[in-house]
Structure formats: structure tokens, C-alpha cells
Amino acid sequence: MAEEKSYYMTEEGKQKLEDELHHLKTERRKEVVERIKIARGFGDLSENSEYDAAKDEQAFVEARITQVENMIRNAVIIENDNQNPDTVTMGKSVTFKELPDGDEETYTIVGSAEADPFEGKISNDSPMAQSLIGHEVGDKVKVATPGGEIDVQIITVE
């Protein structure tokens, strides 16, 4: 059997997945089963689009349950590296500014399972995180972006 992928995440990210799994199993499953029951009451299943839609939704919910269970089972919790407080590692927030005169930006480096750039969480697999990991406060780093390379300076690591 193929080796299972590890999902790096914070304790908070794992808790969110556990909450989602609970919701999917206790509420969404029941809602979908009820929709299927109602759609069956509409008669001929071969021409019943509501029944087809409910079955499609059931397949989606079951697939998501399987995916979330797999992510939880293979979760690797990101521990804060207190040995090197000024070094960028997974689980830490890093503030940097684009050189020469860009605005400061702050991101937390998390696993791909909980990455959400709109919430300031970037994946450890992203070009930005890959470039920053291992560097320290004050370092100037070249970051490859889709728009070309940019230079940034690390301001703080928390």
C-alpha cells in the first residue's frame, strides 16, 4: 500500500477538522438522508432530478468525511520551536517587508491542510514560506513569486 501523506497542522487546525467531522457525521449526513427520502416520494427515480442531486450531495459528504478522517489520522502537530525564537519555522508568524519600500505583511506558516491566505495563514509548501523557513530576524531573502522574484526583509518572528 502507498505511504499515507502527512498533514502538518497546528493543534487549532486539527480541532477545526475534528469539529467539521463531527458536523458532517451528526448533521449533514442526516440532512442528506432526509432529502433522499423526500425525493423518493416524488415518484419515478429515473427522471427525478431532486433524487439525483441528493445522491450527488450524499457522495460529496461521504467523500469529505473520508478525506477529513484521513487528514486527522495522518496529522502531524506543529510544535513551536522555542530553541530558536528568531528563526522562521512552521507554526510561527513572520512579519516582513518587501524591499526597498514595501508595506509590512504578516503570515503564519501552517500546513497545507489549514492554509488560508485571507486569514494570514500560508502553506509551508508555498514559495513564500519555502523561501522564509530557516531564516532569522533581519535576514534579507529572495522570494520567487508568479510575478517574478522579490526581495523581503524579515522584521519579526513570533
Q: Report the pLDDT value the prediction gives residue 54, as an integer from 0 to 100.
A: 93
Same domain, 12 and 65: yes
User: Exposure pattern of 69-101 as b/e (b: 16+ CB <10 Å)?
Assistant: eebbeebeebeeeeeeeebbbbbbebebeeeee
What digits encode the pLDDT tens for the residues 28-72? 999 999 999 998 888 777 778 889 999 999 999 999 999 999 999
How many domains, the chain? Answer: 2
pLDDT digits over 77-107, tens only? 887 666 778 889 888 999 999 888 888 999 9
Same structural domain, 96 and 48: no
Per-residue confidence (pLDDT) for residue 84, from 0 to 100: 75
Same structural domain for residues 117 and 59? no
Among residues 77, 102, 121, the one where a domain terminates is: 77
Per-residue pLDDT averaged across 129-135, rounded?
91
Read off the C-alpha cell for 83.
530553541
Residue with more model confidence, 60 or 111: 60
Residues 102 and 66 placed together within one structural domain of the fold: no
pLDDT of 1 over the 60 cut: no
Predicted pLDDT at 81: 63
Predicted confidence at residue 91, as pLDDT, reads 87
